[in-house]
């Protein structure tokens, strides 16, 4: 690690220790909360929904933040997990009446989402940048319509009712455990060769391929895992909600929340999606209570403000190791009148120049990190300084 990066890391280490301690305290509070007598079922439901939102954001970050494939239709796996589970449990007369026990139904529901994610990911992950984003948005809209018209299986637009099981405390603990597991997995992933290879795909996919990384296999694998995991949250949500229909199982807001939560917290960081999704969830609760109609408007404004002025997110403000938009999306402080002629075709080249040959071996992520460090600095300044002319860094 070079000297200039070393100083930033020492400061970062202290922050990470403090952050870890705060996280631990919050976790303990969350763990004992349901046992306190003052905690109502409504509070537990609110917290469970927040955990769902965090879980989906963490999953979105796996492809969107680490691999750099910005998915605009991630909520489709949530809906598929929810529907597969509902179909297996429901005994509704106009449904297929399978009548499984909820536990296997939830597991199979998540698996269905994972298998479909693997199949669809193989096709859509061949596409790059905005093409991938829109193809996933299309997948989302198309699947919702298929669910709506395939009424013998899905109950159509009427939806499916599930036998109620209202043990809020159980759902709460299951989801809390899931989120803790997922976050630990993300933390661990950042330290493995697999995680390094994913970041290498984000920084320079062609370079990664040249270094012998099977990019298609790896990115499809993480995409399928994210689909399966989001499907699991969907399956749990369906059982807890006791009712699904196409418009509540497949809502755009779920994707929007995952994207915005992750960006607000810090793209490609471990803590970012957790912080961002939780902050967004409470912000929404407050806005919803006080502003009603204006909450959507506020969210749109917030999205633009975050993209334009805080592209590194909350975590990025203190810890500079995560990915910024600059690294993920190939923008390196180029402003008006400077830089290359055609961004769409030159992005890949620009990236590889800044990031260096990131490989799948031990020094892969370190190189990628060291290479991208000054870029992030330049980018942060530009964001803060508004229209200031910033030199291209490379």
Q: Which residues of the shown chain bind other proteins in the complex (CB under 8 A)? A: 70, 123-124, 126-131, 133-135, 137-139, 141-142, 145-146, 148-149, 205-206, 252, 256, 259, 263, 293-294, 296-297, 299-301, 303-304, 307-308, 325, 328-331, 334-345, 347-348, 351
Closest Cα partner for 63 from 202, 194, 261?
202
Residue keyed to tokens 């330049």: 378
Exposed e or buried b for every residue in 289-312, given b needs 16+ CB within 10 A?
eeeeeebeeebeebeeebeeebbb
CB nearer to other proteins: pick between 85 and 133: 133
Largest CA distance in the chain: 69
- Cβ-contact 107, 167 below 8 angstroms: no
Closest separation in Å from C-beta 325 to other proteins: 6
Question: Measured between alpha carbons, how far is 372 from 322 in angstroms, rounded to an integer?
Answer: 10
CB nearer to other proteins: pick between 19 and 377: 377
Strands 160-161 and 243-244, bridge-based pairing: antiparallel
- Cβ-contact 144, 254 below 8 angstroms: no
Question: Measured between alpha carbons, how far is 43 from 298 in angstroms, rounded to an integer?
Answer: 25
CB nearer to other proteins: pick between 132 and 233: 132
Closest separation in Å from C-beta 104 to other proteins: 30
Closest separation in Å from C-beta 20 to other proteins: 30
CB nearer to other proteins: pick between 56 and 89: 56
- Cβ-contact 315, 272 below 8 angstroms: yes
CB nearer to other proteins: pick between 5 and 392: 392
Closest separation in Å from C-beta 323 to other proteins: 13
Closest separation in Å from C-beta 349 to other proteins: 9
CB nearer to other proteins: pick between 232 and 368: 368
Closest separation in Å from C-beta 239 to other proteins: 28
CB nearer to other proteins: pick between 175 and 327: 327
The two tokens of residue 372 are 């991208």
Closest separation in Å from C-beta 199 to other proteins: 16
Closest separation in Å from C-beta 135 to other proteins: 5
Question: Measured between alpha carbons, how far is 358 from 364 in angstroms, rounded to an integer?
Answer: 5
DSSP-assigned letter for residue 322? S
- Cβ-contact 342, 33 below 8 angstroms: no
CB nearer to other proteins: pick between 102 and 155: 155
Which uninterrupted H or E stretch holds 161? strand 160-161
For residue 243, the cross-strand partners are: 161
CB nearer to other proteins: pick between 128 and 217: 128
CB nearer to other proteins: pick between 28 and 297: 297
CA distances from 170 to 40, 44, 54, 85, 281 (A): 14, 10, 18, 18, 21
The CB-side HSE value for 375 (13 A sphere, CA atoms) comes to 28
Closest separation in Å from C-beta 346 to other proteins: 9
- Cβ-contact 195, 270 below 8 angstroms: no
For residue 161, the cross-strand partners are: 243
Question: Measured between alpha carbons, how far is 191 from 188 in angstroms, rounded to an integer?
Answer: 5
Closest separation in Å from C-beta 304 to other proteins: 4
């Amino acid at each position: 690690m070079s000297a200039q990066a070393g100083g930033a890391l020492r400061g970062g280490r202290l922050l990470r220790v403090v952050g870890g301690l705060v996280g631990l305290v919050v976790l303990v509070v969350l763990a004992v909360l349901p046992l306190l007598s003052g905690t109502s079922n409504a509070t537990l439901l609110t917290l469970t929904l927040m955990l769902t939102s965090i879980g989906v954001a963490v999953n979105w970050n796996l492809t969107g933040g680490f691999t750099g494939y910005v998915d605009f239709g991630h909520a489709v796996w949530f809906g598929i997990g929810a529907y597969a589970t509902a179909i297996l449990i429901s005994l509704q007369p106009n449904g297929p009446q399978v009548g499984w026990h909820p536990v296997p139904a939830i597991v199979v529901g998540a698996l269905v989402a994972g298998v479909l994610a693997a199949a669809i990911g193989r096709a859509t992950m061949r596409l790059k940048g905005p093409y991938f984003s829109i193809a996933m948005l299309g997948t989302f809209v198309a699947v919702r319509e298929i669910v709506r018209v395939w009424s013998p299986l899905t109950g159509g637009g009427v939806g499916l009712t599930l036998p109620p099981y209202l043990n809020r405390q159980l759902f709460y603990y299951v989801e809390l455990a899931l989120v803790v597991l997922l976050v630990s997995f993300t933390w661990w992933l950042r330290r493995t060769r697999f995680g390094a290879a994913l970041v290498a795909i984000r920084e320079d996919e062609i370079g990664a391929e040249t270094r012998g990384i099977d990019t298609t296999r790896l990115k499809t694998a993480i995409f399928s895992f994210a689909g399966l995991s989001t499907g699991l949250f969907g399956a749990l949500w369906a059982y807890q909600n006791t009712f699904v229909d196409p418009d509540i199982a497949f809502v755009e807001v779920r994707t929007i929340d995952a994207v915005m939560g992750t960006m607000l917290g810090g793209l490609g960081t471990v803590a970012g999606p957790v912080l961002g999704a939780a902050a967004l969830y409470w912000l929404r609760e407050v806005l919803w209570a006080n502003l009603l109609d204006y909450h959507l408007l506020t969210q749109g404004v917030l999205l633009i403000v975050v993209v334009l002025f805080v592209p590194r997110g909350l975590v990025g403000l203190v810890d500079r190791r995560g990915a910024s938009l600059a690294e993920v999306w190939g923008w390196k402080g180029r402003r008006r009148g400077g830089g290359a002629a055609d961004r769409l075709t030159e992005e890949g080249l620009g990236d590889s120049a800044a990031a260096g040959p990131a490989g799948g071996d031990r020094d892969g992520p370190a190189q990628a990190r060291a290479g991208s460090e000054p870029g992030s600095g330049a980018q942060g300044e530009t964001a803060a300084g508004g229209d200031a002319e910033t030199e291209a860094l490379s």
